Amino acid sequence: MRTGPWRGHGKIACLSPLPDGPLPSAAFVRQCLDQLAARGFSSVVTTALSVPEQTGFLGAGFGVEEDLHLLVHDLRGLPPARPASLRRAKHADRRGVLDVDASAFPPFWRIDDEGLTDALAATPRTRFRVASGQTAVTGYAISGRAGRRGFLQRLAVEPHHQREGLGRALALDALYWLRRWRVERAFVNTQLDNAAALSLYESLGFRREETRLSVLSRGLGT
């Protein structure tokens, strides 16, 4: 299990099953909770979990914090990518990327510098791209691949530059990169009420899976 502060909150911990590890049992999750409580955390949230991954957490007293749509793309029939001013992200872009993230997402879903590092390390191979104007980052995307599976892990555009095609350009850049590496299926998730993101992803050929993901949470008491 991976653990650490949730999005920079010192009293909220995050638990995440290891991608290639066994599914955690309720007993193991409780052991983790005891350790987190001893370290001073007051509550715990999980990353987005599939139904099988949720079992041990639910058995340890977690409840659903938020459900998410899971969408999948077979990477066939991608729309043509239009020219856009995209480039590989540099270390100097991190502050601008985090500013874009904070402006594009509600507080619960924003990431801090540590969260950005975690997102970049979540898969064996990662692509980190930004859209930039004359002086600032205006959007970014993090995508990754693990074997034949691909993931659009993070996509955000500064609100004043939304509806300019940047989100579409960043997403297609990621999908074409995954296809070049012979990835067979790409996944993305988004909040149930994020109509704009759903519309974008479905216009690119993603389809909603019947099974949803869930972020779970639990208080640790005093």
Question: Domain range spanning residue 38?
Answer: 2-68+212-219
Record the tokens describing residue 84, joined without a space.
């856009």
pLDDT tens profile 98-147: 999 999 999 888 888 988 988 898 889 999 999 987 779 999 999 999 99
Pair 89, 54 in one domain: no
Pair 89, 155 in one domain: yes
Pair 100, 160 in one domain: yes
Pair 98, 176 in one domain: yes
List, as one string, the DSSP characters of 20-64: TSPPPPHHHHHHHHHHHHHTT--EEEE--B-HHHHHHHHHTT-EE
DSSP 105: S
Structural domain count of the chain: 2
Pair 79, 178 in one domain: yes
Task: Compute the distance between CA of residue 111 and CA of residue 118 in angstroms, rounded to an integer.
Answer: 10
Handedness of CA 123, 125, 131, 137 (dihedral sign): positive
List strand residue ranges (DSSP E) for 92-184, in order. Answer: 125-132, 137-146, 149-157
pLDDT tens profile 149-202: 999 999 999 999 999 999 999 999 999 999 999 999 999 999 999 999 999 999
Q: Does 193 fall in a domain?
A: no
Please report the pLDDT score of residue 197 as a whole number.
Answer: 94
pLDDT tens profile 38-53: 999 999 999 999 999 9
At which residue do the structure tokens 């066939």 appear? Answer: 76
Task: Compute the distance between CA of residue 179 and CA of residue 182 in angstroms, rounded to an integer.
Answer: 5
Q: Does 198 fall in a domain?
A: no
The pTM of the full predicted model, rounded to 2 decimals, is 0.88
Domain of 149, CATH number, reads 3.40.630.30
Domain of 13, CATH number, reads 3.40.630
Q: Does 203 fall in a domain?
A: no
At which residue do the structure tokens 């193991």 appear? Answer: 28
Pair 26, 122 in one domain: no
Pair 58, 129 in one domain: no
